[in-house]
Structure 1
Amino acid sequence: MLSFKGKDLYVENVKLSDIAKKFGTSTYVYSKNQLIKNFQNYKNALTKDGIICFACKTNSNAAILKILAKLGAGADTTSGGEIYRCLKAGFNPSKIVYAGVGKTAEEIEYALKNKILMFNVESLEELDLIDKIAGKLKVKAKIAFRINPHVDPDTHSYITTGKKGTKFGIAYDDAVNAYVTAKKKKNIIISGIHSHIGSQILETKSFALAAKKINKIVKDVEANGINIEYIDCGGGLGIEYVKGEKPATPKQLMSEIFPLFDKDKKFIFEPGRSITASAGHLLAKVIYRKISGGKSFLITDAGMNDLIRPSFYDAYHEIIPIKRTSAKKVKTDVVGPICESSDFMGKDRMLPVVEQGGCLLIKDAGAYGAAMSSQYNSRPLLAEVLVDGNKATLIKRRAAYEDLLLNETSSK
């Protein structure tokens, strides 16, 4: 929830310049009320029996997870560590689903001992291992198969997961045989079917096409005497990173999908980006300004290790000064301090001249910002701040140089 009041940019009722003074830069800043609003949009749209499982890979800060758990969210997890985080944050294990192509034996055992809702299984060898471990523990493992529906949405190739030839899921033509195989396993309970076609998808037609293809499999599977309780539609709904983009709403998405399935089905949706992205931003300070080769640069204290999306996906994030100004706008590259030419937040942006020591806000960094950050160039991890009304709270302290050696056994 961003707004200018006079010349100052605020998150909710807190001035960003005050956050910079109190907590330093660069810093991730989250709006609690925007986070709640984004989740409630999904919860209100879910008019069928089902669960909104937050894709915690987008943002796994404990404070963010606790807010969503209290709102009744489930969790979409992709590792044993994410399951651990979600359990510690108060998620009901009966609302946790576990996806991922490379679940280890240790992770599977951990998930079973904690009685999660189900595994989204991605290969027959994984099915065999889950069955074996469940037998050893004398429990039954609930599963859905992740089916690759061979749908290619209009998004970046690195975040397309549902087209033919990706590493994800069971091939569409092999789906029914996979369920027939699972039915024979002694320690397996078949609970659902899962698909996830990609991320940052702005329209509903790709989701609807995938759902139609999944429903065909459901009919064929149930013709073999296997009941499918849950239709897990995955996530992937995009946000408005670029002004003028018009992403579909959760209500529009669900209204396309619900009529395609029998009335007795339960649904799972796994949104991540569309819950956290617009609720979080990266606050950065301009360290230096320079002109080189006729090009203008703003060098900030935020690097590609703090927000890798522009470098990794050529992703666009709007960048704005936190002080309103009438200064002339010039074409500028906003870059970081990392020793890589790919270290940039934005290129060829029309920005007003910003004073050295002034601050910029790199918008919509609440998803895959902190979650994908690293200590590359031995840069300590950033602070994270949660704003609620007129209160700003530190929810992750800024790492110190000493923390860089924390787990290195030869450092003492």
Structure 2
Amino acid sequence: METQGKKGRGWLSYRAGDLHVEDVSLSKVAEAMPTPFYCYSANAIRASYMELSAAVGKIGVSICFAVKANSNISVLRLLSELGCGMDIVSGGELERALAAGVPASKIIFSGVGKTRAEIARALKAGIHQINVESAAEIAAVAEVARAIGKRAPIAIRANPDVDANTHAKITTATKESKFGIAIGDVADIYAEAAALPELEALGVAVHIGSQIQDMAPFRRAFTAMADLVTSMRARGLVVPRLDRGGGIGIADDGNAGPDIDAYANIIHETVGHLGCQVTVEPGRWLVGRAGLLVTELLYLKDMANGPMGIVDAGMNDLMRPALYDAHHPVLPLREPASSETAPTYNLVGPICESSDKFGSYEGLGKLNAGDLLAFDCGGAYGASMASTYNSRDLVAEVLVQGDRFRTVRRRQDIAEMLKLEQAGEWQVPAPSERALEPVIALGSS
């Protein structure tokens, strides 16, 4: 079990009082890279993948990384080279995965709102399967497949009405959710899809939420899926694949995190007897602990409830606290003295929104303007959710490997953004083919 916080966890440690990612001083990176920036550890990502692979691989489960967690192509390439597949939710993520060298045959396309153009691109690329989430989407996939002369491999995502007991905005499998098809309707819809010549019905899928710490919801959901597969097969339906989604939480802010061997055992105990090709789709678990957001303390401000620290990273750079009430641990780049007494700091960002705040923090030592801090557990849903709100630069990303680092996404500054807004030529819409109705001015009689 890795150790969270100031003492480090192998790839993250203080050396002579200076915070290091692997063998690279973060202060030295900050000299070359203006803050804020994300920094990832290549070896931490590898270690997470190998730990999960060792746990689930022994029961024949394959892994697809949820690209939405971190879509940087250097990160995707690193995982792909380890043998990891990809779970995507947009056409853009498909292009990123392909650009990273991921074989199309190891890509699964999830999501409730795929366009026909995205479906066509995925089928032409030859992806592993499309996880469909409504009867209407099944009809659209069949229509596209027919038009391009392809047979579409599909799995139906079931909604088992299982509460993952996490934040409401990352719970995806209750009956009120937009995701999936009610589990009681899946067998009938699957049978109809299997009868269509344009479709190859290959299995069922489930995903109940994100940052799940309690294993009980997984057991309930997987048991429900096992019962579903058994009942479908009793009807004569062929169900060779089972995609059980992601959602494994990570250790953060003092929480030990879920036991990955216990998670693997639940998969084995609930669905291992089915003989299905089983896939899991973790995102945060593979990369969340492997990244930091480095920021500079701009100002200190005295407040009634204690000192406020205003940093140069904002909710546009790290959205999770504002969106999910998430609390990311903070590490000073210079280790505080153990005997040093210091106040509790409320850290906020520069964005013109009251929700641009990161939380209350103890144990940071005595801070001064110009100090550098790192928001921990920032490798997932950090840079991938970043924006240019308030016309701020789009945050840069850095990858560390051993004693070296490199930029893997350069900062997009305002000059580059303004180029995207250069006005084109005025165009007059072509008239409709139908006869134009006489135009009557408003207010005329």
- Normalised by the length of structure 2, the TM-score is 0.90
What CA deviation, in whole Å up to 9, does each residue of 1:99-127 have, x standing for no partner? 10001000000000001010111000100
SS in 2 for 1:277: helix
Code of the residue aligned with 2:38 in structure 1: it is Y
Mapping for residues 7-406 of structure 1, pairs under 5 Å: 7-45=17-55, 46-249=57-260, 251-261=261-271, 262=273, 264-326=275-337, 327-347=340-360, 349-406=362-419
Work out the number of aligned pairs and report it: 411
What's the CA shift for 1:411?
9.0
Give distance in 1, aligned partners of 2:309 and 2:315.
Answer: 14
Code of the residue aligned with 1:141 in structure 2: it is A
Aligned 8 A contact 1:237 1:248 in 2:
no
What's the CA shift for 1:351?
2.9
Aligned 8 A contact 2:336 2:364 in 1:
no
Give distance in 2, aligned partners of 1:411 and 1:34.
Answer: 46
What's the CA shift for 1:392?
1.0
What's the CA shift for 1:51?
2.1
Aligned 8 A contact 1:319 1:346 in 2:
no
Give distance in 2, aligned partners of 1:96 and 1:70.
Answer: 14
Give distance in 1, aligned partners of 2:274 and 2:113.
Answer: 34
Q: 1:330 to 1:86 in 2, by over 3 A?
A: same
Q: CA RMSD in A?
A: 1.4
SS in 2 for 1:108: helix
What's the CA shift for 1:239?
0.4
Gapped runs of 5+ residues in structure 1?
none
Code of the residue aligned with 2:300 in structure 1: it is R
Give distance in 2, aligned partners of 1:411 and 1:127.
Answer: 38
What percentage of residue pairs aligned between the two structures are identical?
39
What's the CA shift for 1:228?
1.0
What's the CA shift for 1:171?
0.6
Give distance in 1, aligned partners of 2:217 and 2:280.
Answer: 15
What's the CA shift for 1:50?
3.9
What's the CA shift for 1:294?
4.7
SS in 1 for 2:29: helix
SS in 1 for 2:162: coil
Gapped runs of 5+ residues in structure 2?
1-10, 426-445
SS in 2 for 1:351: coil
Aligned 8 A contact 1:276 1:366 in 2:
yes
Aligned 8 A contact 1:54 1:76 in 2:
yes
Code of the residue aligned with 2:297 in structure 1: it is V
What's the CA shift for 1:230?
1.2
What's the CA shift for 1:203?
2.4
Give distance in 2, aligned partners of 1:47 and 1:163.
Answer: 31
Give distance in 1, aligned partners of 2:350 and 2:16.
Answer: 31
Q: 1:349 to 1:178 in 2, by over 3 A?
A: farther
SS in 2 for 1:307: coil
Aligned 8 A contact 1:180 1:224 in 2:
no
Code of the residue aligned with 1:304 in structure 2: it is M
Give distance in 2, aligned partners of 1:185 and 1:268.
Answer: 25
What's the CA shift for 1:70?
0.7
Give distance in 2, aligned partners of 1:48 and 1:263.
Answer: 12
What's the CA shift for 1:88?
0.9
What CA deviation, in whole Å up to 9, does each residue of 1:175-207 have, x standing for no partner? 111111112211111111100000000122211
What's the CA shift for 1:245?
3.4
